[in-house]
Homo-oligomer: A and B are copies of this chain.
Amino acid sequence: MSDRIEIRLSGSGGQGMVLGAIILAEAAAIYDGKNATQSQSYGPEARGGSSKSDVVISEGFIEYPKATRVDVLLAMTQESADKYCPDLRPGGLLIADEDMVAEMPEVEGRAVRLPIVRLATETVGKRVVANIVALGALVKLTGVVSEEAVRKAVLARVPRGTEQLNAKALEVGFRAAEAAGG
């Protein structure tokens, strides 16, 4: 039995999906003692402004670092939701931005809509931390890493001087997921 969990963070360039994925992988590997890989492929869609990054977390050795059968998909734009939902495994979880993904794709699993960008803008006060709000929600909804681990990983990675803002963004994400039944 594999304990491999595959997570894909997708959105538009500049939304911090790559940084979010690095933080998640480091939370798992450095602070939770698991193995993790983080990867992204850049092709023509990157030049069009799309961004996606994959994280694989496992107790054991990870041979293939790309996500092939996604357990958890974060979609921050309509385009990314449409493009990557077919890769979500049956029974998987889609987390979509409520405002950005107006038409939810059908998924054979659970789908949660959260106003991630709106929470970043209105509650935290900075749209740029939407990736960290999303990360908080994802961790709360899935338990793929511990809350303590993701908190430490966020603080280790974000630019100096933005720690408090990002810590708040993470908490806002935790709470939004709780309110959604996470």
Contact = CB atoms under 8 A, between A and B. Distances in A.
A25 B53 CA distance: 13
B42 A37 contact: yes
A42 B29 CA distance: 6
Given A37-B41, A39-B39, A46 B29 contact: yes
Give the copy number.
2
Contacts of A36: 41-42
A105 interface: no
14 contacts: A26-B46, A29-B43, A35-B41, A35-B42, A36-B41, A37-B41, A37-B42, A38-B40, A38-B42, A39-B39, A39-B65, A41-B65, A43-B61, A159-B160
5 nearest interchain CB pairs? A29-B42, A39-B39, A159-B159, A37-B41, A36-B42
